[in-house]
């Protein structure tokens, strides 16, 4: 038998991103790179300059008369329904008709010969308002009697009242958790090309092509089969393109069908930031009872979120905040309530973690409070409260799901040893005791993150595979590529299934023409869902090919094997391409549609009980920081991470996801501050005023390792685990380390209770406050 080499690009091996070279060389095509047909027009949004008002009159005559303007779109030009709400609550109009709900709300769209002409004309509207009172944050909105944007959630288990009665200690507090802008490199963009009859093709940068398809059909008043949405790749998404693209896709499509000419809309960065939603800000009131060893006995929490003017995805976001308010800790008695509060701000939306990070921050604040109250190392408090297993009964979450795959103890123990946490902490305490200007802090924090859409019906995926007669393979699936490497991973799964080299597979754009009714590429589920769907398609094709081989050669099925770039049939070894040609000549069907739905999950929101998550991903991070007590400035000296991705499909891509998620999470908690003025204007609306981490802000020493011993106990794709969102919360170790450094100025007697983002200004104010307390 011929000695065959292994294939290039199988799973569990490092393989570069399939677009990496194209991206580095500028050859990777994005929506704005698509060649514009002759006659292409450009749209730009005209927006409100007040936060809350009744529209008395909107005079657009100067806009229409401006040079280069072809037409102006208002609510009157919408042939279907004036709504792009992803929640189905009909509360998010494309263009308002009676009331303005936030400063910068789109009111109309200008269609012009050039983008510059459209942008300039959009400033010429004359609008007469009756100004109404506005509220910008969840507390002032609640006090003003503003409603909730959707139904709240309550999670409860145990006897909370009795738990507090028997607890030896009790602490109440409040933490303000800031929001975050997505700051994707490629902003929102949609490019609509009209077709015959009701048809329209929309190229856009969206994580959810099927929703964009349905929303465009909704506003045009046509069936979904008349709309095709294409996405080759995005220049980042982070959740900001899950539902926020609906508006832009709708505007481009309305204009294209009205004028029968292609229409492109691409807001500039300022308008992108003011007109689209962000991570939800939260104000969390917590009450925790605990014993003298720091073990939690009861928890109660109220989670109020700034949701903005409409529901968008705020319901599931605030739900997930409660799902992760336990982080990795067991609460014997617990009651958690969400408050998805309406405010006069842009409607907030999905962002990496989807509310989970805010819940985890609240959990870590309670742990920190207990540690300061008992004068103990916070890591000891964390370990004392970790989930246990079925033997000790400490493995049931507030939503009544049993934690069956708990590896957080091993993760933390290994990181504690490799990062030399204990000795470094002792050295830091000794150094801080000298009373210098520079103070240091260190923290080791865990994360447990549930994987699945909490809306159970989204946990499905489809894929399509064609094998052409020359042996080349065409792969299409419902997931979208935004830089995370999803296409690479799914192609590796297919390559391994057929035992062919990765280069034999052509990964094609995501399109609603090929795979229908897709779920958003979100909730860290892209590889889990689409990888399994692609594998299902591959297995269907392999089964047909095995049948053909047995019938054509007269051998038993168990003698047919797919070998590296060959097919073994009995004693015969046939090159893969030759075998496929034979199958084609024998009229074997060489195309298959695969499908997958996540098993075991169920959720009853009304009762707050179920199994919303298929499994959990775990990780831990140890960070050391230095702060300047005279200025509040700080830097991250060292970070060590150990993260659980199961049996990684592609370790180098997963490691990159962990690194990037940590930095993005660190930015959320330190430098990325959203600030609205009293008039309701977002003032941090460009890179000049909104500060994301730079390369120079990364830890001076950055050690990232995957837990290579881990293997998902559930039947996920190749026993891997999701990696998109869980490591985002590793950045919390930086916040906790900053807290320790600040606390050192008062000899660790008081919890600093830092609000986030912990900007240098907030660090300095906390230092001065603790010094005054003594």
Q: Give me the active site residues, please.
A: 725
Strands 296-308 and 334-342 turn out to be parallel
Q: How many CB atoms lie within 10 A of CB 715?
A: 12
Query: Which backbone phi and psi does 539 adopt, to 5 degrees?
Result: -65, -35
- Residue 105 CA to residue 497 CA, distance in Å, equals 49
Q: What is the DSSP letter of 4?
A: P
Distance set, CA 150 to CA 90, 105, 118, 317 (Å):
12, 20, 36, 11
CA 156 to CA 243: how far, in whole Å? Answer: 30
- Is residue 757 within 8 A of residue 669, CB to CB? The reply is yes
If you search the block for the tokens 């939503």, which residue do you land on? 399
Alpha-carbon distance of 405 to 712, in angstroms, equals: 8
197: region left, alpha or beta (phi > 0 left; psi from -120 to 50 alpha): left
Distance (Å, whole) CA 200 – CA 213: 10
154 in Cβ contact with 608 (< 8 Å): yes
User: Mind giving me the DSSP string for 492-528?
Assistant: HHHHHHHT--GGGEEE--EETTTS-SPPPS-TT-HHH
Kindly report the backbone phi and psi dihedral angles of residue 192, in degrees, each rounded to the nearest multiple of 5, phi listed first: -105, 135
- Please provide the size of the chain in residues: 774
Q: How far apart are CA 605 and CA 621, in angstroms?
A: 32
Q: Are 699 and 658 in contact (CB under 8 A)?
A: no
The tokens describing 725, both together, are 């969102």
Closest residue by Cα to residue 188 from 32, 343, 305, 72: 32
Please state, in angstroms and rounded to a whole number, the distance separating the CA atoms of residues 542 and 539.
5
d(CA 261, CA 33): 18
Q: Is-contact 201 228, C-beta < 8 A?
A: yes
Residue 739 and residue 733: Cα distance in Å, rounded? 10
Q: Which two tokens stand for residue 478?
A: 């419902």
Q: Is 531 helix (H, G, I), strand (E, B) or coil?
A: helix
Residues near 422 by Cβ (< 8 Å), separated by ≥ 6? 416
Compute and round to an integer the Cα radius of gyration of the chain. 27
């Amino acid at each position: 038998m011929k000695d065959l080499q292994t294939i290039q690009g199988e799973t569990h091996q490092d393989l570069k991103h399939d677009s990496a070279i194209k991206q580095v060389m500028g050859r990777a095509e994005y929506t704005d790179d698509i060649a514009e047909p002759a006659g292409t027009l450009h749209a730009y949004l005209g927006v409100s300059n007040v936060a809350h008002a009744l529209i008395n009159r909107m005079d657009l005559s100067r806009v229409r008369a401006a040079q280069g303007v072809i037409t102006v779109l208002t609510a009157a030009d919408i042939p279907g329904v004036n709504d792009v709400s992803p929640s189905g609550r009909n509360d998010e109009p494309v263009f308002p008709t009676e009331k303005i709900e936030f400063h910068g709300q789109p009111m109309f769209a200008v269609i012009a010969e050039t983008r510059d002409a459209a942008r300039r004309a959009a400033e010429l509207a004359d609008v007469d308002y009756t100004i109404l009172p506005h509220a910008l944050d969840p507390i002032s909105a609640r006090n003003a009697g503003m409603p909730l944007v959707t139904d709240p959630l309550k999670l409860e288990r145990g006897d909370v009242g009795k738990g507090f009665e028997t607890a030896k200690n009790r602490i109440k507090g409040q933490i303000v958790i800031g929001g975050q802008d997505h700051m994707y490199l490629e902003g929102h963009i949609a490019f609509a090309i009209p077709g015959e009859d009701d048809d329209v093709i929309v190229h856009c940068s969206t994580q959810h092509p099927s929703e964009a398809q349905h929303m465009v059909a909704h506003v045009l008043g046509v069936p979904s089969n008349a709309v095709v949405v294409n996405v080759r790749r995005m220049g980042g998404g982070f959740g900001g393109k899950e539902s926020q693209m609906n508006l832009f896709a709708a505007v481009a499509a309305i204009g294209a069908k009205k004028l029968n000419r292609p229409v492109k809309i691409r807001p500039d960065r300022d308008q992108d930031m003011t007109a689209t939603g962000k991570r939800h800000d939260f104000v969390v009131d917590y009450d925790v009872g605990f014993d003298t060893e720091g073990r939690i006995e009861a928890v109660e929490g109220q989670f109020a979120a700034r949701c903005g003017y409409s529901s968008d995805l705020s319901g599931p976001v605030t739900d997930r905040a409660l799902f992760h308010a336990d982080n990795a800790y067991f609460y014997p008695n617990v009651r958690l309530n969400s408050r998805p509060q309406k405010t006069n701000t842009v409607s907030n939306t999905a962002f990496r973690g989807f509310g989970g990070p805010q819940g985890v921050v609240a959990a870590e604040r309670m742990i920190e409070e207990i540690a300061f109250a008992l004068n103990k190392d916070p890591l000891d408090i964390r370990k004392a409260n970790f989930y246990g297993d079925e033997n000790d009964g400490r493995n049931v979450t507030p939503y009544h799901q049993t934690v069956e795959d708990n590896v957080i103890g091993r993760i933390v123990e290994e990181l504690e040893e490799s990062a030399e946490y204990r000795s470094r902490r002792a050295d830091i305490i000794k150094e801080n005791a000298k009373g210098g200007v520079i103070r240091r802090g260190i923290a080791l924090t865990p994360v447990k993150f549930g994987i699945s859409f909490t809306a159970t019906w989204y946990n499905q995926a489809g894929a399509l595979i064609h094998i052409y007669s020359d042996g080349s393979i065409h792969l299409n699936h419902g997931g979208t590529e935004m830089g995370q490497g999803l296409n690479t991973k799914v192609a590796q799964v297919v390559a391994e299934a057929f035992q062919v080299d990765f280069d034999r597979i052509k990964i094609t754009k995501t399109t609603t023409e090929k795979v229908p009714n897709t779920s958003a590429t979100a909730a860290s589920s892209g590889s889990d869902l689409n990888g399994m769907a692609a594998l299902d398609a591959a297995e269907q094709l392999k089964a047909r090919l095995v049948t053909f081989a047995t019938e054509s050669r007269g051998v038993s099925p168990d003698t047919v094997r797919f070998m590296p770039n060959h097919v073994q049939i009995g004693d015969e070894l046939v090159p893969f391409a030759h075998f496929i040609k034979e199958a084609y000549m024998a009229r074997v069907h060489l195309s298959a549609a695969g499908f997958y739905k996540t098993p075991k999950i169920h959720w009853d929101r009304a009762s707050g009980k179920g199994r919303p998550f298929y499994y959990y991903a775990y990780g831990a991070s140890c960070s050391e920081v230095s702060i300047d007590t005279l200025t509040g400035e700080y830097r991250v000296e060292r970070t060590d991470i150990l993260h659980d991705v199961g049996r990684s499909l592609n370790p180098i891509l997963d490691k990159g996801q962990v690194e990037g998620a940590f930095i993005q999470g660190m930015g959320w908690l330190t430098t990325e501050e959203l600030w609205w003025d009293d008039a309701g204007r977002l003032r941090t609306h460009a890179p000049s005023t909104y500060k994301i981490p730079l390369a120079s802000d990364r830890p001076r020493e950055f050690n990232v390792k995957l837990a290579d011993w881990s293997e998902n106990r559930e039947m996920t794709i190749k026993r891997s685990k999701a990696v998109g969102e869980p490591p985002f919360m590793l950045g919390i170790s930086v916040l906790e380390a900053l807290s320790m450094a600040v606390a050192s100025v008062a000899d660790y007697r008081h919890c600093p209770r830092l609000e986030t983002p912990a900007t240098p200004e907030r660090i300095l104010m906390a230092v001065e406050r603790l010094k005054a307390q003594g």
